[in-house]
Chains A and B, each alone.
Chain A
Amino acid sequence: MIPAYQNIVGMPRVAAIEHPFARPYGRAKDVETQIAVLRAALAVAEAAQAPGHVEHLPFVWPEPPEETQWHPPVPSPIIELINKRRKG
């Protein structure tokens, strides 16, 4: 999701995937992608040989970002707070 966080967190093994927030394993009812992602993540666990291993999985989300739904129906409290502060 945001593998850049690895610089702060330091996870032992990372299977990075370019899927949107809320749906790391794929779209609803997309059984084929869901099981492929799960299988790929388990394979990373088995293949990693040293701490901090990051593998970039080759999955491609089938919708462009501007058409991909993930945002909550209303902005989160922290986003509302940031927006309020920006407006002064």
Chain B
Amino acid sequence: MTLEHRVDSWRFAGKFLKRVLGSQIPSQPTHAPIPWTPISKPVRTSRVALLTTAGVSMRGDTPFDMEGERQRPTWGDPSWRRLDADATAQRVEINHLHIDTALIREDLNVALPLDRLRELEASGEVGSVAPSHYSIMGFQGNDTSTLENETAPAIAAAMISEEVDLALLAPV
């Protein structure tokens, strides 16, 4: 008999973060009804966009606001950035005060695997790479209203305008 693998949410968090974050998470679901859009076509014919919460912005674009968070520790920049499909670590800025961003500067693919997505496109496993990809900055403090009510709809609208079929969000 093999046991199904279950991901331990806290394996890498450490005791302190587990206590702080874990105390905020109920043991039973409290979320609103989950929206559902059925997959309309197989991945091999879908246009795919990637999203990251790593606070990535193209060089020359306005970076995520870290100074504001330093001034108000319970606040996190709720804005979003559009990223080029050929973005590389050398062409982006990464601003996030809760992780070691040097790990992502070393290889953007650890958080935003655009090179890998292009490889899947080349091999025919993915229909196409979307023209744009997206980043938010994951720490939102105690107010997620702007992220939910303004940022997420704006990103969704941008994806729709580029005929994205499938979006993959990887939190960091």
Contacts and interface: CB of A to CB of B under 8 A. Distances in A.
Contact of A42 (B139, B141, B166): B166
Given A8-B31, A22-B172, A65 B12 contact: yes
B99 A72 contact: yes
Given A35-B120, A45-B166, A70 B12 contact: yes
B103 A23 contact: yes
Interface string A38-74: 1101110110101110001110010001001111110
Nearest to A52: B34
Interface of B: 4-14, 20-22, 24-37, 39, 42-43, 48, 54, 69-70, 73-74, 96-101, 103-104, 106-107, 109-111, 113, 116-117, 119-120, 125-126, 139, 141, 166, 168, 170-172
A73 B32 CA distance: 37
Nearest to B97: A76
Contact of B103 (A41, A69, A77): A69
B39 A38 contact: no
A51 B36 contact: yes
B31 A39 contact: no
B52 to A, nearest CB: 8
Interface range, A side? 35 or more
23 contacts: A1-B9, A3-B7, A7-B31, A12-B35, A12-B36, A17-B7, A18-B7, A22-B100, A22-B101, A24-B170, A24-B172, A25-B110, A25-B116, A26-B110, A28-B110, A29-B106, A38-B120, A46-B39, A72-B97, A72-B100, A76-B98, A77-B70, A80-B73
A39 B107 CA distance: 18
Interface of A: 1-12, 16-29, 31, 34-35, 37-39, 41-43, 45-46, 48, 50-52, 56-58, 61, 65, 68-73, 76-78, 80-82
